[in-house]
């Protein structure tokens, strides 16, 4: 990690895992992917509002949580590797 990446990650990790998953995972990845996938593969029958909400919750939220958590884990490993020699972890 470059020094500016380390500083940026410090700020992100200070805000916490839950906020990171919500912002990066759900809102920045899950919701856009849900919209894109719906246009690429439209359902064969009309969805009711309840069906749409259930599909949204399953795809966007679960997928976003998984994506956000995986990115967090990867970034934490990179951060710890970059800072362990400096003694600032």
What is the predicted pLDDT for the residue at 46?
Answer: 74
Domain membership flag for residue 89: no
pTM (predicted TM-score): 0.78
Angle of CA points 29, 57, 43, to nearest 5°: 90
Domain that holds residue 7: 3-82
Contact 88, 79 (CB under 8 A): no
- Does some domain include residue 88? no
Q: Are the C-beta atoms of 71 and 26 separated by less than 8 Å?
A: no
Position 67 scores a pLDDT of 95
Determine the Cα–Cα distance for residues 4 and 74; give it in Å rounded to an integer.
17
- In a domain? residue 55: yes
State residue 69's pLDDT score: 97
Each residue's pLDDT expressed in tens, for the chain with a length of 89 residues: 899 999 999 999 999 999 999 999 989 998 888 888 777 776 677 777 678 778 877 888 899 999 999 999 999 999 999 998 766 55
């Amino acid at each position: 990690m470059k020094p500016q990446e380390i500083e940026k990650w410090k700020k992100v990790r200070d805000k916490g895992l839950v906020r990171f998953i919500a912002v990066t995972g759900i809102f920045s990845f899950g919701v856009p992917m849900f919209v894109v996938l719906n246009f690429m593969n439209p359902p064969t029958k009309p969805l009711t509002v309840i069906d749409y909400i259930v599909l949204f919750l399953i795809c966007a939220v679960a997928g976003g949580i998984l994506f956000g958590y995986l990115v967090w884990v990867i970034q934490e490993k990179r951060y710890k590797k970059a800072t362990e020699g400096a003694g600032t972890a």
